[in-house]
Structure formats: structure tokens, C-alpha cells
Structure 1
Amino acid sequence: MTETSSAAPIANVPLSGVIGMPIAHSKSPRLHRHWLNRYGIAGHYVPMPVMPEHLAEVLRILPYAGFVGLNVTIPHKEAVLTLADVVTDRAALIGAANTLIFRPDGKIHADNTDGYGFIANLRQNLPDWQADAGPAAVIGAGGAARAVVASLLDSGVQELRISNRTKIRAEQIKAEFGARVVVYDWAQVGNMLDGAATVVNSTSLGMTGKQPLRVPLDALSPDAVATDLVYTPLMTPFLTEAQQRGCRVVDGLGMLLHQAAPGFERWFGQRPEVDAATRAAVLG
């Protein structure tokens, strides 16, 4: 005689992850595993290396395999906008998405939380930081810079200076974000820092294995706040020199942690706390 079980069926375990190429370096799986364990949530977060030519097919399949959403990293952050059914205003403005939500109706919702993560990191580490304390200066004009520019302007920065080695990219940002953006030639990037209250390195220069950020900091005010989007190493040469000049500095790891929180909440139903234990878990 066959034994039958009267137990209730096991509910599907929600799945999420991060897609990119390469992806092995990502700290996001460690971060989300920490939160899942902390809150006792039955769920999984997996890194997925996806080639650009397979992106559309992967996004079509995953919602039918138990996935409730994804983080998106290089090189897919722009391409996913064309594949999403719903795009938030901020993702459209920035021109990239880093967070996808797979809705119950099958539609893909694309958002960008990088700017939120950037500002939340500043405010957590420097609660008295004021966007309107003076001009902001952003070094670089890539995808990350666009999120930073949008969030700084939205927070109330009245003048945003930007410089990039390829000037046309900085000029494109000015064209899209308006009159508060002032473009500086790369040869004048040091002058851009004169009187700036908030200075941001949005490039990968200074990252472990990359070229150093060769920007003269002579004009940097000791009253300025300096922050870097790079978090390997935590204290980049840029932050170290800024700190030596008297500036308050904020490393880039907090941006990674804070940008992840809204997605985790949407996927798993719990707003996670970003605290010292979270940083420690990600740093390993």
C-alpha cells in the first residue's frame, strides 16, 4: 500500500540574483546571504554570468523559474531598459537600471537605486551633510556618474561641476540635466575643486588593479566632503590624500550596501538594515 502525505505543499522559495559578465568578483551574494540569514528568510541569491547575446532569453525564462527579481551590473545596465516592460523615471533619466522586479503579471519592472545608495551612504556616515552647502564636483561622466549627478541635483545641489577625460560625455550630462551642471576641461579638473563642498570620484581610477586617479587636490578645501565610489581598497589614494588635507571622507562600500536594500525589500518583503554587522559580513 502506498503511503500518502497529508502535509501542505511547500511554498516556492523566492529566488533572486545578480547578472553581469564577469560576475565572480561581486560582493552582492555575500550581502544578500547575510540579510537572508539575519531575518530568517527562506530565499536564495545567486550570481549569474550572462553574455550580452543571451540577456533577452535569460530575462524571459527566469520569472518562470521562481525568480522574483535581479540586480544588474556591467555590461547589462543599459540594455535591460530596452527589455523591461516598465521603467521608472529615475532609471530612464540615468539611462541605466541596476534593479529588476519580476511582477506577478509577468512584466519586468526596471529601476535604478544607485543614486539612492549614494546619498544614503553620505547621510549615514555624515548626518550633518547638506547638499546646498556649496558646489559639488564630480570626477568622471560614466554610468555611475549619471546616477550621482541625478541624486545630487535632486537633493538640492545648486551648482554641479563635472569633468571627464572625454569631454563630450560630460557635455551630454549637462545637456540632459540642465543649467546647474557646469563642465570643466580635463586639463582644469584641479581647478574644479576650488570652493567645492562635496567632491566625488565616480571613475574606477584608484581601484585595485586600475590606474591611479591623477587629479591635483591642491585646491581642495579642508571643509569639503570627499567620497569615492571605489571600495577596493576602502581607503583609495584619493580619499587618503583628501583626509590628509583635513577633509571628511566617505568610502564607497556603503553605496553598494544601500543601493541593494530597496531590491531586497521588494523581493523578500523585509527592509534590511545597513549597519556595522552588514559591512563586516560583506568585507568577510
Structure 2
Amino acid sequence: MSPSPTPNRITGAALLAGIAGQPVSHSLSPVIHNAWLEAGGIDGVYAPFAPKDAAGFDALVAAGRAGLVQGLNVTAPFKQQAFALASEASKAAQATGSANILVFEDGRVFADSSDGVGVLYALAEQAPALNLQGAVVVMLGAGGAARAGAGALIEAGAGIRILNRSRDRAEALAADLGPSVKVADETALASADLVINALSVQPGIDLSVLKPDAVVMDMTYKPVVTPFLAAAKARGLTTVDGLAMLIGQATPSFTALFRRPPPPLDLRALLLSHLGDAA
């Protein structure tokens, strides 16, 4: 009887990439990318990096320039710093002034952002009837998550209304992103075609003012059905979860970091199993 196939083994030629954030231990990205590496029999590792501060992130990027790491995903609080350190940036990264992908090659740093791709993927999968051309999108929050998701929505033809407790921060984000973005108050909810929670906490807005065909999205994925999404479901609204966004942004990330597309894999089933959620 022939031996069963062995999992891919790490050799001296292994490709090293990872995710940088603080904190980063909660991230599902290592689960996704290492599953792809194993499924494809690829000699590589996707590791978590937790620089303690901006100086630590600078040191990690310097390691990439030196050839020790071939690429990084970047999460809070380093996305804007990642963009600032890049030698060259994609249009998607330039549009928001932030990056969640850094690729290192011959001492240079290339920045990209797949967060917008993730938002569009999630909406297409879970709210296919939504037409973003001319849509009114109310974004709850004015931090890095709001910034990262806004660029693709603007490019798709949507108008963004930023609803944030700190008006100054909302105005600064609107100024950065251009005329398609305006600062709003809760009266904007009544005309919203799409409401996105880009806060790290659950918002306290009145969902009863939303149109019956409005779509509600939460960028958070722990739990997959957040209290915000559960309340929207209870009102009969279409909902989009953060897990779909995470899956949508992962493919371009893997392709950039490992220089090849990922192998076929049912990521949603894998991640739901990892999280312990029912499908």
C-alpha cells in the first residue's frame, strides 16, 4: 500500500509573507493563506507580525526591502503608514491614502489595496440586486476601515455620506476622498441605499428609518452575524457580512504576495468551521 500524500514541507526555498497589525492575533488571514498554501502544495509560510509601534512597522518594512520577507498584508493601525512608505502605489491605494498589501522586490516597496475589492465582492455575492451607480452609501465611522472601503464605492458610482461621532474626523476624511464624500447626520439614513458599519463597535442607529430595500453591511466578522446585522435581518433587510469582505480581499492579496493565484478552496466553509459558526 502506497503512503498517503504528505503536506507540503518548508524548505530553504520557502516563500515568506504575512500580515502586520497591532493587535494581529485575532486575524483570520493566516488561516486563509496557509490553507491555500497547503492545498496548492506550495513551499511557503504566511505568518502574523505584531510590531509594537510605528517604529516597529518601519523595521518590518526595512526587512522586506532587505529581502527577508517578500510581502505583507497590513491591517490597523499601519495601513496609512504602509502607503507612506511605498516606492510606488496602485490607483486603489492612492485613492484612499492607505494600503493593505505591500510587495517587496529588489529593495522597492509596491503598495496596493484590496479592501475595496473585498467590499464589492461581498456586495455582489450577498446583495446582487444593489446597483451602486448613483447609490447613497452611509458609512458609519471615519477611521481606517471607512477610508479603505470608500474608494471602490466611489469608483462604482456611489455617493458616500460619513456619519461619525467626531465631525472633525469625518470632515478630514471627506476632504481627503473628494467631492463624492460628504459629512452627514442621522437624517441621511432615510435616503440610504446601503449602510456600512465601519466601526469597531456596534452602532446605535435607528434601523426603522431605513428604506425597505436598503442593504446593511457590517465589516466586522466576529461574530459573522453581528447584533447590527441580526437587527437588520429582523426588519427584513438584505444583509452583507464582514466574512464575505474578508474572503473577497484575500484572493488579490495571495496573488500579489505569492506571485500566483490561490488554488480552489471553499473558504467560507473553512472559516465558519474555524469560527465555530453554523453555516
Q: Same fold (TM over 0.5)?
A: yes
Matched, 1:93 2:124: no
1:230-269 paired onto structure 2 within 5 Å: 230-269=220-259
Change over 3 Å in CA distance of 1:148–1:230 after alignment to 2? same
Between the aligned partners of 2:259 and 2:178, the Cα distance in structure 1 is 37
Between the aligned partners of 2:76 and 2:135, the Cα distance in structure 1 is 32
List per-residue Cα deviations over 1:118-158 (Å, max 9, x = no partner). 1111112233331026322111111111122211111111x
- TM-score, normalization by structure 2: 0.87
List per-residue Cα deviations over 1:74-125 (Å, max 9, x = no partner). 222122223221122322331211111111x221111111111111111122
How much identity, in percent, do the aligned residues show? Answer: 37
Aligned residue identity for 1:257: I
Residue 40 of structure 2 contacts residue 263 of structure 2 at CA under 8 Å; is this kept in 1? no
List per-residue Cα deviations over 1:167-219 (Å, max 9, x = no partner). 1122123223333323223xxx2x2211211111111112xxxxxx2111121
Between the aligned partners of 1:90 and 1:101, the Cα distance in structure 2 is 15
- Secondary structure at 1:17 match in 2: strand
Match of 1:281 among 267, 270, 274: 270
In structure 1, the partner of 2:180 is: 180
Between the aligned partners of 2:44 and 2:224, the Cα distance in structure 1 is 30
Give the stretch that moved more between structures: 89-98 or 225-234. Answer: 89-98
In structure 2, the partner of 1:7 is: none
5+ residue gaps, structure 1: 1-9, 207-212
Aligned residue identity for 2:188: M
Give the stretch that moved more between structures: 262-271 or 57-66. Answer: 57-66
Give the stretch that moved more between structures: 52-61 or 14-23. Answer: 52-61
Q: How many residues align?
A: 262
Between the aligned partners of 2:163 and 2:66, the Cα distance in structure 1 is 44
Change over 3 Å in CA distance of 1:162–1:54 after alignment to 2? closer
Between the aligned partners of 2:152 and 2:141, the Cα distance in structure 1 is 15
Superposed CA RMSD in Å reads: 2.0
Between the aligned partners of 1:261 and 1:219, the Cα distance in structure 2 is 36
In structure 2, the partner of 1:6 is: none
In structure 2, the partner of 1:50 is: 51
Change over 3 Å in CA distance of 1:58–1:49 after alignment to 2? same
Residue 257 of structure 1 contacts residue 274 of structure 1 at CA under 8 Å; is this kept in 2? no
In structure 1, the partner of 2:75 is: 73
Between the aligned partners of 2:176 and 2:23, the Cα distance in structure 1 is 30
5+ residue gaps, structure 2: 1-10, 275-279
Runs of at least 4 residues off by over 6 Å? none
- Secondary structure at 1:15 match in 2: strand
In structure 2, the partner of 1:201 is: 197
Give the stretch that moved more between structures: 262-271 or 145-154. Answer: 262-271
Q: Shift of the alpha carbon at 1:267?
A: 2.4
Aligned residue identity for 1:173: L
1:1-284 paired onto structure 2 within 5 Å: 12-52=13-53, 53-64=55-66, 66-103=68-105, 105-132=106-133, 134-157=135-158, 159-185=159-185, 189=186, 191-206=187-202, 213-272=203-262, 277-283=266-272, 284=274
Residue 13 of structure 1 contacts residue 66 of structure 1 at CA under 8 Å; is this kept in 2? no
List per-residue Cα deviations over 1:19-49 (Å, max 9, x = no partner). 1222211111101011112222221101112
Between the aligned partners of 1:98 and 1:172, the Cα distance in structure 2 is 21
- TM-score, normalization by structure 1: 0.85
Q: Who wins on radius of gyration, i.e. which is larger?
A: 1
Residue 21 of structure 1 contacts residue 51 of structure 1 at CA under 8 Å; is this kept in 2? yes
